[in-house]
Structure 1
Amino acid sequence: MIKVKPIKLIAVFVFLSISSVNAQISEKPEDISPLLIGEKIPASNLINELGETISLNSQISKMNTVLVFYRGGWCPFCNLQLSGLATSTPDIVKLGYQVIAISPDDYKNIKPTIKKGTLNYKLYSDPKGKFIQQMGIAFTPDPRTKGYISKNTIGKATSVLPVPTVVVVNTKGEILFEYIAPNFKQRISSELLLAVLENL
């Protein structure tokens, strides 16, 4: 069992900037202004793989939640992260948390992502990245990335991306922990995430 001192629970990549009240889209990943620990996430409606509208608040009110914001099923780094989460989800559930992964992918892309691995948690689409913008982690991808997304996605391609982020919230939607990595190749390890959850 990994033990982490409380002082280490704040991720290196958490930005200590003042969050904006209004939803915004930054030009670069390094310029985002995320909501901070202690703040409440906004109410949001998401879309499941069947195209049905889901209230995120109704989902998190049932159980403390690990929210994982990923770029999309077209992203190999995201797929590795999602697969790793599937392995650690049983341990996360034992600690009293559920896992919900969110991307600005068209909901039609969720089924193929689920089929890539045995996922034992929920994946939702955030149409147009509205919730991602409200979380303060949205940025505009460069033209090259936009082109890649268009060629490797089903349905309407997104014009906004989230900085890869993991947010832990309680049933009231209050942020208990967050890990934000402007470098999309860097993701929180399963070991660190489990250690964080054990110490919250």
Structure 2
Amino acid sequence: MPNRTDKTLAETRSELLTTFTDADWQSYNHLVKWLRDSNVPARALKVGDTAPDFLLPDADGRLHSSDQLRRNGPLVLSFFRGGWCPFCTAELCALQGAKDDFENVGATLAVITPETRHFPRELKQSLGLDLMVLADVDYGVAESYGVLFRVPDETKAHYSGLGFDFGARHGSLEWKLPIPATYVIDRDGQIRSAFVEPDFTIREEPAQILTSLRQAMSMS
């Protein structure tokens, strides 16, 4: 069974922040400031934009197209950094807990990670997830949504020191990550809701996603 919790993501965030070391705080503050100063979030797709089409493999290697995922109703698409990030795993468990609610209003949920090969499958197994985890091979989808950024050198040094090699995990020589972002996309491919936050510790609550889904359904 998934690692579900009754806590909100904001409550989980507060708890996780208490575990930060001084080095974690320094790296966190630098990255968030760098993203904001670089105006990276301004490039992200917004409400009213047309969602780019894609074809991506899931954790078992099966291909899924955006057209297929939107065939029966709206699509909830959530970009996350990887299974190594505790804020991401908390978000995934929260989305797992809301999956039935999303499906009850006719929506499909898919989460996208830059991690490739065995990492998405191991993530699902370790957390007991029944989610569609798609591998963003070569970062193409995150780039098309405007949420991709090159990891700055200071951040790369911090995560390398913790033993993470994003190049190996992503199957790429380039260290890139998505800004965590959640989109609600209607059957016609129009973005109805967009949550893009450069502070990677802050994620959209499933309850708010559900509200956006209901609004999208009422307008269809």
TM bin (shorter chain): 0.7 to 0.9
Aligned to 2:211: 195
Runs (5+) with no aligned partner, structure 2: 1-33
Root-mean-square deviation (CA, aligned residues, Å) is 2.3
TM-score normalized by the length of structure 1: 0.78
Aligned residues with identical type, % of pairs = 22
Question: 1:70, CA displacement in angstroms?
Answer: 0.3
Question: 1:38, CA displacement in angstroms?
Answer: 1.1
Q: 1:103 to 1:29 in 2, by over 3 A?
A: farther
Distance in 1 of aligned mates of 2:141 and 2:149: 13
Aligned to 1:59: 69
Q: 1:189 to 1:152 in 2, by over 3 A?
A: farther
Aligned to 1:186: 202
Choose which of 156, 162, 171 in structure 2 pairs with 1:156: 171
Runs (5+) with no aligned partner, structure 1: 1-27
Instruction: Please identify which structure carries the higher helix content.
Output: 2
- Indicate the SS of the match to 1:149: coil
Structure whose alpha-carbon radius of gyration is higher = 2
Question: 1:49, CA displacement in angstroms?
Answer: 1.6
| 1:58-108 Cα deviation digits (max 9, x unpaired) | 222332110000001111110000001101111111122111000111132
1:74 paired to 2:74: no
Q: More displaced, 54-63 or 153-162?
A: 153-162
1:120 paired to 2:130: yes
Is the Cα–Cα contact under 8 Å of residues 137 and 170 in structure 2 kept in the other structure?
A: no
Structure 1 letter corresponding to 2:171: K
Q: 1:115 to 1:175 in 2, by over 3 A?
A: same
Q: 1:185 to 1:124 in 2, by over 3 A?
A: same
Aligned to 1:137: 147
